[in-house]
A and B are shown apart, each in its own frame.
Chain A
């Protein structure tokens, strides 16, 4: 196939355990049989493109986008920024990133969230952007609060922002969560603990980035993301004799 090259196999040991009894919902929602592994095909090596024309001017500003710019959300103003790379270190330009999160009190604007912390009338909690030519992105938002959830008797999620990234191939599709430096709840969280390699979990913890904060406006956190790369293929897919 022209235009595509094979994806590097996913290193499943660097990812969470699908079956993790401390995260109770995973017990009945994890396959018990092994995955079927094979080389990627064009079905996984291609993926949907999304253009900048998709975006509205406030799509990556969660402080203002729910009120259409009329009023600011309440909470700690932060900028979350970083770069999307693939495993070979190449930037991933023009790729769609979507985020969602709770408000400053830990309450989600979702019909199913019944936590009694109040909704913020000026905060929706969703944002999206497309990376630039260097794979860079940024969001303005408020820092989400921790919240309790019905798992074990007294489980609380650390402060986190959900990330969804497309890449350029359906096989690169990734959803993850960004945590915040210094949050003591990370070490107690059974969802974070599904990642057994501590150095891998640390990669989901965004450091405070004072140099990219803006005085008298917002603090910054840096969160870089790595997607699957493509193998080099000097000898594949060449006509006989070349």
Chain B
């Protein structure tokens, strides 16, 4: 016999199912008036410092179909690389956003401030990125990934440099589609499968 570690085990995940919007984005489900407004409508308030950008994309399943029932959440630092709550962080950047794929087209849109670089635990600077979490019917445990930007210097990013197959790095990089617009598609499975994180 040994001492007990005394640790608990994390509660197991289950799929969010097809009606995740009822609990998380009630107006999307057609439920009005229970809450004053949906949670996480925008990651920025008026007056946020930095460049306001729009990211658009779709979540494709293994057959290439743009999923209509996915829900996404994003979490990011402000333009100087500080997370909300950290000393000196921009009070007009809330950092968190929640959004759904469109029920007709499957396309999502995230309007936010472009984040600044953040240091990792070893003091290495990570290139600007937005953390993304995706849940939907058929996804048994939420998928974490990151959005990087093609017009930033991504060469020394510690996470991107961990990807052995260099062509897969491209799956995490949003492509410019306009002055302040980017395209970021997620492929759950198969050709061009997005890199998902266990982090």
Interface residues of A (CB under 8 A from B): 1, 3, 6, 9-12, 14-18, 20, 23, 25-33, 35-44, 46-50, 54, 56, 59, 65-66, 68, 85-89, 96, 98-100, 108-113, 124-128, 162, 164, 170-171, 173-177, 191-192, 194-195, 197, 200-201, 203-204, 225-229, 236-237
Contacts and interface: CB of A to CB of B under 8 A. Distances in A.
B136 to A, nearest CB: 7
B24 interface: yes
A28 B199 contact: no
B114 to A, nearest CB: 15
B22 A109 contact: yes
B13 A176 contact: yes
A81 to B, nearest CB: 16
B195 A98 contact: no
A28 B138 contact: yes
Contacts of A124: 22, 26, 31, 34
B139 to A, nearest CB: 5
Contact of B86 (A46, A54, A100): A46
Contacts of A3: 86
Secondary structure call for the A interface: loop
A108 B26 CA distance: 12
A99 B159 CA distance: 34
Interface of B: 6-24, 26, 29-31, 33-36, 39-40, 61-63, 65, 67, 69, 73, 75-77, 83-86, 94-96, 103, 118-121, 126, 129, 131, 133, 135-144, 146, 158-159, 162-163, 188-190, 193-199
B193 A41 contact: no
A42 B36 contact: no
A36 B161 CA distance: 11
Q: Which 3 A-B pairs have the closest CB atoms?
A: A100-B23, A25-B138, A29-B138
A227 B8 CA distance: 9
Contact of B131 (A44, A59, A126): A44
A115 to B, nearest CB: 11
A18 B159 CA distance: 23
Given A28-B61, A204-B14, A17 B22 contact: no
Contacts of B135: 175
A170 B77 CA distance: 12
A226 B9 contact: yes
Nearest to B63: A28
Nearest to A125: B22
A29 B61 contact: yes
Contacts of B39: 50, 54, 96, 98
A59 B35 contact: yes
B188 A43 contact: no
A201 B6 contact: no
Contacts of B12: 14-16, 176, 195, 197, 200-201, 203-204
Nearest to A58: B34
B62 A35 contact: no
A176 B33 contact: no
Nearest to A192: B14
Given A56-B36, A173-B142, 18 more contacts: A15-B13, A16-B15, A16-B140, A29-B137, A31-B196, A32-B189, A44-B144, A46-B83, A50-B39, A87-B9, A89-B7, A109-B29, A112-B103, A124-B31, A164-B23, A170-B75, A176-B12, A203-B11
Contacts of B129: 43
A1 B15 CA distance: 33
A65 B198 contact: no
Nearest to A90: B8
A30 B7 contact: no
Contacts of B96: 47-48
Contact of B62 (A27, A68, A98): A27
A28 B144 CA distance: 17
A237 B26 CA distance: 42
Contacts of B24: 98, 100, 164
